[in-house]
């Protein structure tokens, strides 16, 4: 193994008890998005104690940046997530994402110091509020990714693979406004907002037959009126509109079709309608193939077992705000196996704090660190990664 990769391996092994304690502490203090004060302080103070230059509350109140400047060269970023789920705690395992992030930080910093010559800069970004609020999207808009050449992170999962599928997602809130009236004595004076909501639901259900297999729309009526004898004057629905990678333009097509369904329901019932797509729509994840191949090679070299079932890989897929980052800078967001429980379940929360999750968590951090070492040591790699990034963006436009 390359000398600097040996340093990575030894450094992360040496720190494993400290790293496990950090992960366990975050697990024991679950915090919702934008309220991760405990995790923010714990991670930023730990990195500061290890010699990183830390900006607490960087751009967002519970975001941070920690930098180790190893001289002229690429600026590579590793991202930490640390938000939890309401009522379920760390049922998405973001405590382990934070552990991967700080472990990678320690491994790469040690390698840069050992190199004895300028190789580049390591940036650790603490990125809050992944679970629906799109913290990384706010960070992109505030310039937190300016000057960063590549971004990496990893998410615990039922599978280990370097190019997981994460789909583009937009949240759509719909409100129909009608006119209340007594449903028995003067129904002709009313304008029925519940009929509009039902019509809208039906229109979208009819649209589903003409959707591509990779598209998903799922919604609920969140307000359907209050009493049977009052013609409802206000009703509300909430939908998630999704399409699979690499299909951001497709999600835009799908949104237009859904809006026609909404407008049609308003027109046919005489209601007014207000609708809004969430400001932080999630993009599909565009895994950089050069980076992902480097990660595969490094992972295999240290004994990581990658899932080979391509059909299973294509079927899986939630959404992440790392998708948006992957359209701004070349990125990877590998998944690593920690157990058979699926995400956002109580069972996953048990696994996320288990001893058995630690080995793959640390192996993943080593593979990410070694991927960074490859880029630092081989100046021809970054241009190849950037060419691939441009090509993938171009291909996505033509889907």
Task: Give the footprint of Zn ion on this chain (CB under 5 A).
Answer: 92
DSSP state of 171: E
Please say which residue, 40 or 333, places its beta carbon nearer to Zn ion: 333
Question: Whole-number minimum distance, CB 343 to Zn ion, in Å?
Answer: 5
With CA atoms as reference, report the closest residue to 365 among 40, 133, 19, 26: 19
Task: Cis check for the bond before 246: say yes or no (omega within 30 of 0).
Answer: yes
Question: Whole-number minimum distance, CB 39 to Zn ion, in Å?
Answer: 14
With CA atoms as reference, report the closest residue to 239 among 278, 196, 210, 273: 278
Please say which residue, 92 or 150, places its beta carbon nearer to Zn ion: 92
Whether the CB-CB separation of 250 and 399 falls below 8 Å is answered with: yes
Bridge partners (DSSP) of residue 219 are 239
Taking the C-alpha atoms of residue 263 and residue 153, their distance in angstroms, rounded to an integer, is 41
Q: What is the DSSP string of 137-195?
A: HHHHHTTTTTT--EEE--EEESS-BSS----EEEEEEEEEE-B--BTTT-GGG-B-HHH
Taking the C-alpha atoms of residue 218 and residue 324, their distance in angstroms, rounded to an integer, is 22
């Amino acid at each position: 193994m390359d000398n600097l990769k040996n340093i990575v391996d030894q450094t992360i092994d040496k720190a494993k008890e400290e790293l496990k304690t950090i992960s366990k502490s975050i697990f024991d203090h679950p915090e919702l998005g934008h309220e991760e004060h405990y995790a923010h302080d714990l991670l930023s103070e730990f990195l500061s104690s290890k010699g990183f230059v830390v900006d607490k509350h960087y751009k967002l109140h519970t975001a941070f940046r920690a930098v180790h400047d190893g001289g002229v060269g690429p600026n590579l970023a590793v991202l930490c997530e640390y938000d939890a789920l309401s009522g379920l705690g760390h049922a998405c395992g973001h405590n382990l994402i934070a552990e991967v992030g700080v472990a990678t930080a320690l491994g790469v910093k040690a390698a840069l110091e050992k190199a004895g010559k300028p190789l580049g800069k390591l940036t650790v970004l603490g990125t809050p509020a992944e679970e629906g609020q799109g913290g990384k999207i706010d960070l992109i808009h505030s310039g937190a990714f300016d000057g960063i050449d590549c971004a990496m992170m990893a998410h615990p999962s039922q599978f280990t693979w370097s190019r997981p599928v994460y789909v583009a997602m937009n949240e759509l809130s719909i409100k129909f406004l009608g006119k209340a009236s007594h449903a028995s004595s003067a129904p002709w004076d009313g304008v029925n907002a519940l009929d509009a909501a039902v019509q809208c639901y039906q229109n979208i259900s009819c649209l589903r037959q003409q959707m591509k297999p990779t598209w998903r729309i799922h919604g609920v009526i969140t307000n359907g009126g209050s009493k049977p004898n009052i013609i409802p004057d206000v009703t509300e629905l909430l939908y998630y509109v999704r399409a699979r990678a690499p299909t951001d333009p497709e999600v835009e097509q799908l949104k237009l079709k859904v809006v026609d369904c909404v407008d049609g329901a308003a027109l046919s019932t005489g209601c007014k309608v207000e609708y809004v797509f969430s400001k932080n729509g999630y993009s599909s994840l565009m895994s950089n193939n050069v980076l992902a191949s480097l990660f595969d090679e490094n992972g295999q070299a240290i004994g990581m077992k990658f899932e080979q079932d391509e059909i299973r890989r294509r079927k899986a897929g939630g959404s992440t705000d790392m998708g948006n980052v992957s359209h701004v800078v070349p990125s990877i967001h590998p998944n690593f196996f920690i157990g058979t429980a699926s995400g956002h379940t109580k069972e996953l929360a048990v696994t996320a704090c288990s001893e058995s999750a630690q080995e793959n968590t640390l192996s993943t951090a080593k593979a990410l660190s070694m991927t960074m070492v490859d880029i630092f040591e081989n100046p021809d790699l970054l241009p190849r990664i950037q060419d691939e990034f441009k090509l993938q963006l171009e291909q996505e436009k033509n889907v």
